[in-house]
Structure 1
Amino acid sequence: MGNNVLSRVREYEEEHHLSRSVSTRYINQVIRQPYGYPRQVGSLVYVNRRLLNYAHEFSAASQLYFAGLGFGRTQSLPALNRCVSPLRSMSFECLLHALRDERDAIQKKTFTKWVNKHLKKAGRNVRDLFEDLRDGHNLLSLLEVLSGEILPRERGRMRFHAIQNVETALRFLRYKEIKLVNIRGEDIVDGNPKLTLGLIWTIILHFQISDIVVGQEDVSAKDALLRWAQKTTHRYPNVRVQDFTQSWRDGLAFNAIIHRNRPDLLDWKQVERMRVRERIEMAFHVMEREYGVTRLLDPEDVDTPEPDEKSIITYVSQLYDVFPEPPHGHPLFDVEGQKKVQQFRELATSLHQWIREQTTIMQDRNFPNTLIEMKRLAETSQRFRVEDVPPRLHEKERITHIFRDVERYLRDSGETMDRDLYPDNLDRNWNQLMMLHQERDQMIRDEIARLEKLQRLAEKVHQEAKTTDSKLDDIEAWIEDEAKRVDHLHPRDAKNNCDKIEKELQRTEEVIKTMFNDVQVLRDNR
């Protein structure tokens, strides 16, 4: 009779998705050894714990079970207490141990899959995480794949070879400034479950999770991942991501992340109607099929009274790698509003980028040093003012008009947008650009005037140089003529001629000095 009712209780559990944190068999074995109580007493302890956790869900099942044991409705709890009161302290301790064992088993399975995901690149595989890391070879290969570095290793099979390999891995992690707490090579070689799991979790934290950043705030990688999940699942009904345990148990958060980024892959209404484990399976299957995300967990690992935090974090971090930034707009709300937001974002982004690019150009004061190039630059400045600015001004006015509708949608939906795209910021940046353009345009005109003045000076020097060169030729010929007939001239006439030549040379020298000054001006203003 009792076994019959127990099967009915289990059917009720399965129908209502009640996961057992402790198996009845385990408690029965523990209880029967020291006390010799019948198997039904262990089942009663189980029912007692379930009543504490799921009183509102389990009342019908517990009544069925008590009826099967011969207890009346009003006698159930007192009778139960009399049966199991000697065992309360021991059963509670067993429950704690069982919960811890279940969590460690889930963690071991998750970490094993994560390790194999990376070891596959090195042609290796682990079946038992605690056994297959003992010789250090798989551990070194894992670190080589994750870091891209080659690590030395011992090829022998003796215990000291294994310890040396594990110590090499630990030294490498310390070199990477990864904090290791009370983990020695001997612990891993001896297959210590707790420390092996701790070591793998440390590696996951550094190589999988530590680079996660959301916004500019200085928070831990775990908090950053949590904020990313909250941001991605924002406004999804019945989804409240507050931790990495209970918030994921019903599977909605996993599906919300997928739907937010790829609404074509899921029908959200259908997801809401699914059973818990069906929707968890759906999320894992879709991510594995579409993006090759390793299925680190099974639905029963998540749909449990105490989901393992580290396992959930490890899997969710894989989703972050695929969808690091949720798209603008929410697939569950106002399609027309989203279209307007998208239209506004595209227009405002285009104008914002154009303003930034042109601002960079207008801030450039390194002008070319030739008049021809400066005149081309003046033409470009004129073309910017006449051809580029008017259509962009019209675009800015259109953006301001569209924003009136977009602003209401943003306020109602809670969606955020880059403040640089807001019309007031665009106006401020626009005005700055126009001011920079006016300053630069004036500087271009001033530079052209300066270069034209220098060009006129250069032409003057060139002309004077030609004239002076010709004048010096004439003086030279004059001197040669006077030298030929100096013997036939009266000394007074010869002196007069020499004075005339000297005066002419002095005038030419003054011209040459002026030219030297002009050339220096040209050199200084090049």
Structure 2
Amino acid sequence: ESCGATSLGCQGPGHSMAMAVVADENAGWVMKQKEVFERWLRVKLTGHSSVRSGEESIMISDLYEDLRDGRVLYRLLESLSQGSLVSFGKLNKGNMQIQRVANLNIVFEYLAQAGVKTIGIGSTDIADGNKKLTLGLVWCIMQFFFAQELGGVDNNMNAIRQTILQWLRKNTFKHPELIPVEGIADLAALVGDGRVLLAVLEEQDHASNAAKYQPTGDPPKDLMTAVDLAFELFAVERLLPTNSVLTVGDEKCVMPYVILLMEAVGEVQRKRREEAEALEAERQRLERLRLEEEDKLRKEQEEEERVRQEAEEEERLRREAQEKLQREREAVERARREEEDRVRREAEEGERLRREAEEKLEREREAAKRAQQEEEERRRLEELAKKSAAERQAAIDEARRKWEALAMQAKATADKLDALQAELKRLEDGSILPPAVQSALESLDRRQLAEVRRLPRPPHAVKVALQVVWVFVELFVGHPDHEIGAEAPLTPRTHRRVRERALSSTKPSATEKARRRGKSPGRAAASASPPNGFFGTTPPSGGDPLQEASTTHMDGLSKIPSPEWEDIRSMLAAVELTVVLRGVTPEMLLTSEAAPVVSELQILMSRVLATDAHRANKAIGKLWDWCAAQLACAAAIAGQTPVKREIQEVEALLDQQEAAAARAQADLLALEPETF
């Protein structure tokens, strides 16, 4: 292999440790591979699950140094294998040589079990920062996972190279002259001039102008154009060193980039196939709908024809029935005329008997009619009485249901009012700063804070607590309601002047200091010198330290300054915190200027447990409790206004419901007095 040490350990057992020693004349490809490998590691480590689980994000700045402790390799293997290495061992967080070697032993144990050949490379070589062997180990890992990503091909350069060449030929079939059929032993010579990459991108970008994919004849410029277009179209990271010329021997620089491009193009092709399948499915669905509509229309036409035929049959039967009925009517009419003649003759003979019978029958009918009218009147009166009683009972039941429903609504509203009043009482109790917290703050002295100031690198909980205290001093010492007071506007420079005046007004004089220590005033005055700059420290050259601190943010909290530890130590040395902070009240946290900062303070404090602050330092624990109590009281005060407003609304609603219940009760009393 022409790449020298990067292939060491990835080949057969015939290679030895001596091959790791490479002359200085190979420094050019070493720097290229180092740059490409670093960029490839950044791509693979981006979005690793360990970042989401609360660990710090992994940054790659120097490949040789960053891989020495084994942590980056550990996380890299987890990201590539989509699994966890905890079963092989747990990472050590220290930076001692033995801890680095222990972490690297876990990595090598996993590589050995996975089948990655690392002949001639050991844990101590990586921990010692051996550059050539570090590059060799990274390439062994890359080659192993390249073989898996390409569909499980053999773990050797030739098999990976042939797979890549097949993919390139497939995606540049319009330009067969770019890739020879045989004689390709190094991808760098094939891809380094940018023409093959431009042809691949032209094949994938169907909607763009083909002119921008035409090579210019300048290999570095064409390669840079291809890399930029790949990043623009498929978001492929710029791994290749476009500021230098790729020659034979740079295949291990080219191969990672081409595989990333293959993955991105494959993903785009997969999405295109899915879109085509979705369009075909939609077309088939529309075709089915069209056929169903045609079938439905055909059935409707058949149904209309059947109905028409049935109507014609019914019309025929109707005409026949009418004809039959007409004939029957004629026969009945003839029989009626004959019967009339017979009756007329009989009637003439029995006219007298008929008249007598009619008179008798008329008298009987009039008597029966009077009896029937009397019975109908009696029944009507009984029905009216029953209906009136039922309507009255229904009205009573409806009035009772309405009154009970309104009474239950009024009771529920009264219960809600009691709950809101209890919540208001709880918020009013919570808006008072506990005396114990204030007493704990006032009990702080310089000796306790000096212990914190002497820490060279404080724990995270201590730094967060002092950052919150810094923000309280920054934001509220110059507040118009502060006990020390300041009429200057809340700007960084006026804050500094306000704090200096406040601190100078609260510091004991030289005579008082001498009296306390038992020294003469002259000696004490000579030993005391006025503080310089911000919080008694000499401001660093290049600008206002408050302005510099306010431009540093932490974890996306853009409103909170993140001061340097030296500035915090200077603050602890110069400021009487109990005097400066005692004028801060919860009401100051409710102003429109303070609200964004206070919300981020709550987020910042929620990231550290109070027990961690107490365990780190007693003085910091007291400051932590005081800041948390201030934020809790402010939240309680802010919560009182909506609760009071809701109480007023509920009281008005309760009055309305009670009045409606009283009216319903009066209506029920009017209908049924015995109810009450």
TM over 0.5: no
TM-score (norm 2): 0.32
Which protein, 1 or 2, shows the higher relative CO under an 8 Å CA cutoff with sep ≥ 6? 2
TM-score (norm 1): 0.41
